[in-house]
Structure 1
Amino acid sequence: PKFNRLGDTLTFTASGTDSLGTPIPSPQVSWVSRIPARLSIDSVTGLATAHDTGDVRVVATHDNASDSTLAQVRPPVLVADQTLFFADSLRLGSNQADTTYRRIRDSGTVTLGVAVHASGLAEGLYGDTVVLSSVGAKNSPERIRVSMHVVCPTALVAADTSVAGTFAPGDCRSPQRARSFADLYRFTGNAGDTINVFLTTGAQTDLDTYLYLLNASGAVLASNDDCPGLGRNSCLTQFPLPAGGQYRIEATTFDSAQFAYTVTLTHPVAPSAGTPLAQRTTGGAAILPHDSVNNTTVVLAATGHDNNVHDTLRLQVEVRPVSTAFTGTPTDTGGVAPNATLGVPLSVTVPNLQTRW
């Protein structure tokens, strides 16, 4: 038999036959509970009372014969299934094992736990109600308002380094793109710092990434979908930081795709001084110092060096008439060239006048 409430009563009865198989009318039986603290029983009448949860063996004895049965004291604790209104629904369900091993005594308490996993949720505050009910308990059901603040973890990325990652279930959802998984990275910058951020997928540039730069309060400062020259990969180039402090990089996807990626943060620094300027004609012939040519333009050239392999370089010169003083402001700028380990040839074309530089 099963007792559904503490304090419930039940009268046990017994029947039997003699050695010839003839039923014994109204046998005189002595009743015993193996755990009286859990289930007490009157030895004569067989009236049993439930006191605590669990299983109890009840023994009936007649003359020299005895037999037993198992009584169960299990008041059900019902945890109502509750669907949370998160972006991806999570269901809180009752665990049958908990109702077997967690006991609630008349004057005692029991701690019940509910675990909610935040995988796949965007940052933010979530709330709902947990309903706890117990059959026969006072003030049942009990409604408990709960809230959960989801904060996506951020990984540190240092300037001029790359970090590999993967968009996959278990990541946070993008605050900007609800269908997409996202990973967050943080760095500290100074006002006026210029940074480059690249979100790339190696040779598979058709994988569609999306890149955001946010300030410490979470406001979007810049974003990019497709970076020129990188297919569907993303980048933010030559972005000046408006203030000192912590910034966040949000790496995500255009849609809900899953794939591996690399985030690269560069902090451009001034390149080394270029080699001394050389002068030549547009055809490539060298022009000696203080010499003159009949060309309308001349080419000024130098080799640039930069320790940051992610940078690009260009040559800027200030060209003034001989009688005019220098101001420190470039008058002519050459084309942009990607950096190279052994140095980058740079040049700029200027009018061929009686000038100095």
Structure 2
Amino acid sequence: MWVFRRTNNVFQRNKGKLLAFVRRLVAYSSEEGGWGFDLVQTSGEKIYQCNGYRILVLATIIFTMLSNVRKKRKISSPPVKPLPLYYLNDNNAPPPPRLKVIREPDEESQPSAEDLAKTVHARQLEATRARVHVVEKRRREIEEEREHLNATKRARLFQKEEGTLRQEEDALRRLEQRSQAETFGVSNNIQEKRRRQDAAHFMSVHRQHVMDLEREDAATKKRNRDAAVLPKRDHQMMEAKIQVERAEEESRHMAELEYWEIREQTEAIRRREAERFQRAEITKALLVQRYCEAMRLKLVDKLQRANVQLEPLCGCHDDPLLHNVSYCAPNCMFYNNPHYFNKILIEQLSVYGIHLFG
């Protein structure tokens, strides 16, 4: 079946090419006068060494496919859908749609504010009870887990002790068996050797059990000692921390005091230096003033000996020797210009043959 199905699919895809090939094949065979041919070329394809029997089989297959295609092309009528039940009534029409009646609430049926408040209070009370129930349930679960853990721990200790006791009982049982075997004629050397081995095993088991008990006792004592020493240790650590903080604060305070002392000393040194410089400046100014006064008196003496009367250099003062340029008018040429005043004064004195340093 799959061969025919595949052939049918190929034929559906290349139907035009096959029909053209058959037509040319029939025409060629009729022209040549025989069913066999050496070469037929159609649509770019080549077929070699075909005989009449093969052509007959090919034509039969093609006609069978064409008949199948014609059968499939027949259009089948669509299935008739059954009519709905509402079309089978007398009027042959659908029933009217159902209308939803909306009823307005009566004033009497509406709850009052007190009922609403009671309902809200009841709901809050139920929610609170539910939360309390959940908390109680969780607390019971925690207590059960704690009891289960304690029971598990006790069971483990009991199993350990039971195992050690069982080992001791086995060792004693073996000793009894060995002692009974001695009565039945077992050699004394073997019995003594076995007895020593059992005694050594019993002592090792007993020693291990005692060591376990001592180890547990030591761990318990250590826990108790730590529990007793821990608050004291915390108190000591707190005191040490407070002492360290106090020492840091004192060192900080001392450093600050040293800083202010050094600053005060520096300020005092700077103040003394400023005072000393000011005194030196005052002394220098006094010396300059005394020198200028002496020079002026000397110059006056020279002028009196030479019988010379100096004329005023400007209208701001009468005597040029007692003149100060800082008291000149702003429009005067000697205003705040002592160098120019001294230059003019020296030139005027040189006219009379008087020199300041001569």
Q: For CA contacts below 8 A with separation 6 or more, give which structure has more relative contact order.
A: 1
Q: TM-score range by the shorter chain?
A: under 0.3
Instruction: Decide which structure has greater helix share.
Output: 2
The structure with the largest alpha-carbon Rg is 2
Question: What is the TM-score when the length of structure 1 is the normalising length?
Answer: 0.19
Instruction: Decide which structure has greater strand share.
Output: 1
